[in-house]
A and B are shown apart, each in its own frame.
Chain A
Amino acid sequence: MKHYTGTGHLVRLILRRDRLILPAWILGNATMALFSANAVIDFYSDDRQIALYSRMMGDNITNLIMAGREAGLDTIGGIAVNEVSFMAGILISLMVLFTVVRHTRSDEEAGRTELVRSTVVGRHAPVLAALTVAILASVMTGALIAGAFIVAGVEAGGSLAFGASLAGLGVVFASSAAVAAQVSVTGRGALGIGGAVIAITFAIRGIAAIRDSPAVWLSPFGWAQAVESFGERRWWVLLVLVTGAALGFLLTAALGSRRDVGGGLLEPKLGRPRASGLLSTDTGFVWRTQRGLIFGWGALLLLLAALYGSIVTQVPEMLEQNPEAAAMFGDGAAGEALIDFFVAYISRFQASLLAAFTVMSVLRLRTEEQSGRAEAHLATAVPRWRWASANLLVSGLATVVLLTLVALTFGGVYALMDGNSNHLWLGLSGALVQLPAIAVVASGAFAIWGWTSTAWGWLVFACALVQTMLSDLLRFPDWLSALSPFWHTPAVPAESAEAWPLVILSLVAAALLALGFLGLRRRDIVTT
């Protein structure tokens, strides 16, 4: 046991360091489950609606990709699981991935593990401590979600089984994250490997579910689902999850016994000894430091766009049965026009998600400043305005390109499903009219950073997102909704595009940009 000496101290250290973030992950996940379960109970109040749900969702491709083939869709519990499992599963997987890597490889890379290991701490203690906390957090998440279901009024046995399967999923991905942390020598690399394992096994489950194939057993998501909380309720399947995790623990220990502190299986590659011509330009530099961000968001948004594109053909059938949901897409959303309203709604929603990318990309200026790298940059002959405008230019161009690709992917998948190539262009105008609104949100974040060097600009985005997603549902008064730039963009193609709101939004964005530059010119650069 000498290799595990000191684990208890390290567990306390991790709990101290993560005392805010872990409760946020756990409570956030459980709260979402509670709201969803409540909504399901309210909405699917009679047998007719439950039957409709299982008919609609049972073979819906999007649903199969996201949530797999859930057993017991003819029960209220099964419906709740189907609605919750995607988000809860992804959140719990990311929670354990970040927790394990942060306290193993990232600490090791930063040299903190070296300091810790020089005290009376065994070789495997850091990884065991990280796994202990990740497992505790998984179990707590599972327990709280089971509790949330029970509180909402779902049957208790199935709720417990679902909570247990989620916890098991967390334990499996904690285990794979620990292996990834042995393999890569950087924290980023370990996050990449761990994230890829989650994404690939998620995709395997989705594809296997579409074909109703036993290949679902190749994925931990498939194992968790095979518990069938509201179907057969097979508790023994939990053993599969535990066994899978145990294999990962053994592999972690074996790799950890053979390597040096700081070492791994994948050593970082050497790069170029000279800067390319592109890197030496202002915008080339920004592109180089942001391309990972751009590609990552691009992949995510295109995937979502493809999913939305794949359900357009089913929209009329879905909504005719459910006029309340149809009202969500706007007044007059019925009959032939229904698809146009749906497209307009999705276009606005996707644009508001893309605004998150734009804000993040613009606020990279703040990351540069906080990290002290802006100091090195601005000590050269590059003036502040050029440094900032190069970043804004890349953020803006990437936004336009991503928005176009998202619209074409959405339309393209719809065209494929419907066999009508004209649909390819359907989402494009609806997406492009959102550009001025995205510009207002991003320019607002820029202006706030320009004056205060803070990231409070995210609040602008958060308010806009709440308005886009919830204002109809929560019946916001118009004056409140009007604070969000997305409220002013026309719902193309359901409505015709009016020019003047777009002109006004563009002018507001331009004014905010100018304001940001004014602030940046006057203030101190934050230094460490």
Chain B
Amino acid sequence: MAMTNTAIELVDVVKTFGPVRALDRFNLHVETGEVHGFLGPNGAGKSTAIRVLLGLLRHDSGTARLLGGDPWAHAAELHRRIAYVPGDVMLWPGLTGGEIIDLLGRMRGGLNETRRAELIERFELDPRKKARTYSKGNRQKVALVAALSSDAELFLLDEPTSGLDPLMEATFQECVHEMTSRGATVLLSSHILAEVEALCDRVSIIREGHNVQTGSLTEMRELSRTTVTAKTSGPIPDLSQIPGVHAPEVHDHRVTFDVDAEHLHAAIAALSAAGLTSLSAHPPTLEELFMRQYGEIPGQESA
């Protein structure tokens, strides 16, 4: 396989199910060695994109490359180098967790015995129980242990922690750090924004089948608005005249507003002129970014 710096490349990928366009000219670019967050509301197409990457679904048009290969034509060979955790883990009810971990590991071409033992310990999983007796969280652990005990180059994780408790969530984050320190690449689809914020170098946001934004969190913050709260000794100037200022709310001598980065200077200058006595400004949290991208926050048009 050719050496490449790109682990995942989806360009203008379209996938339809009957009349539904699950992916609509979707683009995704993941560099080797990064942890890439994959965000989007339910039904936005995250799992469809991952299944196209796994060669389970055949895309209608566009280009899909996974570790330099074609994920549809060379699915099985590529799967030796990747590990997958599905969002909704379905297991064989008559097999034990330990058997399933071995089975999936060996079908992938082998698993790391030391790490298998260590992960079972760390995730506090009883590998002797039949899968039909596991709770959702425990089924998720089986899939996680099976994936993480491989020496894969690329991990496709589809909401891998949706059933885990906070302690196990912390264990999972440690594991991701260990994987990346080995040089592995991770595509992490998640609704847990704190997890994405803690783990991801870059983030792609998908909505209704196409991506609305991609970039590092720093870039996204810089491109986005800052929330400012200020007090002045004089009357509050009319900030709505300044371009880039959104929805100023005035209470006596106190004002709160959002402002685009390039117009921050003008807004602060106007406040200074009115006798600035107190100022706090914070960049948007991932939560705010996320909500803006998903849109539909009353009083705020999406960026």
Contacts and interface: CB of A to CB of B under 8 A. Distances in A.
Query: Do A and B associate with each other?
Result: yes
Interface of A: 186, 188, 268, 270-275, 279-280, 285, 288-289, 292, 371-373, 375-384, 386, 522-525, 527-528
A384 B72 CA distance: 11
A380 B102 contact: no
Interface in B12-57: 47, 51, 54-57
Contacts of A527: 47, 51, 56-57
A175 B76 CA distance: 51
Interface in B72-109: 75-77, 79-80, 82, 84, 86, 88-92, 94-96, 98-104, 106-109
Given A376-B104, A380-B107, A382-B76, A528 B98 contact: no
A380 B108 contact: yes
B261 to A, nearest CB: 41
Interface in B107-143: 107-109, 126-130, 132-133, 143
B255 to A, nearest CB: 49
A384 B86 CA distance: 18
A408 B104 CA distance: 39
Contact of A381 (B88, B107, B132, B156): B107
B253 interface: no
Contacts of B127: 273-274
A378 B47 CA distance: 15
B98 A381 contact: no
Contacts of B54: 375, 378-379
A383 B106 CA distance: 14
Nearest to A523: B58
Contacts of A288: 94-95
B96 A271 contact: yes
Contacts of A280: 102-103, 106-107
A382 B107 contact: yes
A524 B102 contact: no
Contacts of A372: 86, 88, 90
Contacts of B100: 275
B91 A275 contact: no
Contact of B92 (A270, A289, A378): A289
A289 B130 CA distance: 13
A375 B86 contact: yes
Contact of A525 (B57, B103, B107, B132): B57
18 contacts: A271-B95, A272-B98, A272-B99, A273-B127, A275-B100, A275-B103, A279-B102, A280-B103, A280-B107, A285-B103, A289-B94, A292-B94, A372-B86, A378-B54, A379-B82, A380-B79, A380-B109, A381-B79
A275 B99 contact: yes
Contacts of A271: 95-96, 98-99, 128-130
A385 B127 CA distance: 30
A525 B57 CA distance: 6
A271 B92 CA distance: 13
A378 B75 contact: yes
B86 A376 contact: yes
Contacts of B126: 270
Contacts of A292: 94
B91 A273 contact: no
Contacts of B106: 275, 280
B62 to A, nearest CB: 16
Q: Which of B54, B89, B106 has the most CB of A within 10 A?
A: B106
A436 B101 CA distance: 39
Contacts, number: 118
B70 to A, nearest CB: 14
B191 to A, nearest CB: 18
Nearest to B100: A275
A244 to B, nearest CB: 32
A105 to B, nearest CB: 13
Task: In the A-B complex, list the 5 residue pairs whose CB atoms are closest, starting with the nearest.
Answer: A275-B102, A383-B76, A372-B90, A271-B96, A380-B107
Contacts of B96: 270-273
Contacts of A381: 76-77, 79-80, 107-109
Given A186-B132, A274-B98, A275-B103, A383 B56 contact: no
Contact of B98 (A273, A373, A383, A384): A273
Contacts of A285: 103
Given A275-B100, A377-B104, 13 more contacts: A186-B132, A272-B96, A274-B98, A274-B127, A275-B102, A375-B56, A377-B107, A378-B75, A379-B56, A383-B76, A384-B75, A524-B56, A525-B51
Nearest to A275: B102
B92 A373 contact: yes
A14 B91 CA distance: 28
A372 B89 CA distance: 8
B114 to A, nearest CB: 14
Nearest to A524: B57
Contact of A268 (B47, B58, B77, B133): B133
A527 B45 CA distance: 13
Contacts of A275: 95, 98-103, 106
Contact of A274 (B58, B94, B102, B104): B102
Interface in B132-180: 132-133, 143, 156
Nearest to B83: A379
Contacts of B86: 372, 375-376, 379
Contacts of B99: 271-272, 274-275, 279
A292 B92 CA distance: 13
Contacts of A522: 58
A289 B132 CA distance: 13
A296 B133 CA distance: 23
A133 to B, nearest CB: 26
Q: Which of A188, A275, A375, A382 has the most CB of B within 10 A?
A: A275
A525 B56 contact: yes
Q: Which of B89, B90, B101, B129 has the most CB of A within 10 A?
A: B90
Nearest to B126: A270
Nearest to B89: A376
Contacts of B101: 275
Nearest to B78: A381
A377 B95 CA distance: 14
B88 A528 contact: yes
A186 B132 CA distance: 9
Contacts of A528: 88, 90
A237 B100 CA distance: 53
A353 B130 CA distance: 32
B91 to A, nearest CB: 7
Contacts of A375: 51, 54, 56, 86, 90
A444 to B, nearest CB: 25
Contacts of A378: 54-56, 75
Nearest to B96: A271
Nearest to B93: A188
Contacts of B75: 378, 383-384
Contacts of B55: 378
Contacts of A268: 129-130, 132-133
Given A270-B129, A378-B56, A379-B84, A373 B90 contact: yes
A432 to B, nearest CB: 32
Contacts of A377: 104, 107
A373 B91 contact: yes
Contacts of A371: 90
Nearest to B17: A524
